[in-house]
Structure 1
Amino acid sequence: MAYLDLGGFNGQPLATSGALEAAATLTALEWQVVAIAQRDRLSSLEAPSRWSRFFALFFGGDRASPRLADSKLEALRRMAVLAWHKGYALPKQEIAAFHESGYSIDHLELLLARVSQGRAALNEGRAR
């Protein structure tokens, strides 16, 4: 498993959350994709198997993975699903696909910061 190394910048902190928001922003639609990705399973990142397509064909229902039509939003959804489930432990190939779709490292940091706040709030709510 590959991990994203956000350290190693000569001992300097990356940035405060206010500076991240100034450097990179996401649209309201993109934040909706991030919020919806919270409910997606990791299995939604995989291609549907022959069995799931077979069952969907004969028994109805939508057993296919929920892919977005827009490739940029799909890359964001994939990264958000991984962030919700794995935190900062992200595969290198997914980070590369995220960057290839047009997002910067600032976008990734902003996404991870927001998701980690959401995860902390969820864990705090469960602890009560």
Structure 2
Amino acid sequence: MAYLDFSQTETGTAAFAGQPRKSIDENPAKAALSPLEWSVVALAQNDRLSSLKRPGRIALAMGRVFQPRTNPELADPKLEALRRIAVIAWHRGYAIASHEINAFMAAGFSLAQYELVLASISRSRNARNQRALP
């Protein structure tokens, strides 16, 4: 059970015992993406969910016989994690598996950036759906 420790505060605010104290000057960084990252989100709109799967042996063999499929995977692991989240969000909205969210966060993004991407895609999806209605 947590309790407020009023005797140990330096800034005049109570701190929860057992929790590290944060100074008042520590503000969480605003969630933002670079222009390159926003372009990855925009380009992911045109990618299919199947672009997230690695092709199997049969698909590779068929690609050699017919026309080879281009690899949509990005070379930068951080941008690829962003692309994966964006592709899923464009197709499924907020229904994203926890392992994808964990991979996104492990790539160096924050939870605030995750929420920013999903909110932006959701607004765009809603606007696109409104234009489609007669």
Report the equivalent of 2:74: 68
| Structure 2 residue ranges without an equivalent (≥5) | 1-28
Cα distance in 2 for partners of 1:96, 1:65 equals 23
Normalised to the residue count of structure 1, the TM-score between the two structures is 0.78
Larger fraction in helix: 1
Taking structure 2 as the reference length, the TM-score comes to 0.75
Which consecutive aligned stretches of 4+ in structure 1 deviate over 3 angstroms post-superposition?
Answer: none
The residue matched to 1:67 in structure 2 has which SS? coil
Alignment correspondent of 1:35: 42
User: Cα RMSD between the aligned structures?
Assistant: 1.3
Corresponding position: 1:108 with 2:97: no
Q: Does 1:97 align with 2:103?
A: yes
Query: Any gaps of 5 or more consecutive residues in structure 1?
Result: 1-21
Which residue identity lines up with residue 54 of structure 2 in the other structure? A
SS at 2:60 equivalent: helix
Q: Offset of 1:23 from its aligned partner?
A: 1.2
Task: Give the whole-Å Cα distance in 2 for the aligned partners of 1:51 and 1:29.
Answer: 34
Q: Deviations over 1:14-69 (max 9, x none)?
A: xxxxxxxx7111111111100110011111111112122112212233x2541000
**Other structure's SS at 1:38 match:** helix
Cα distance in 1 between the residues matched to 2:58 and 2:44: 24
Q: What whole-Å deviation, never above 9, does each CA across 1:77-120 have from its counterpart, x for those lacking one?
A: 00000110111111000000000000000000100110001100
> Identical aligned pairs, as a percentage?
51
Aligned length: 106
Q: Given the alignment, which residue of 51, 56, 77 partners 2:58?
A: 51
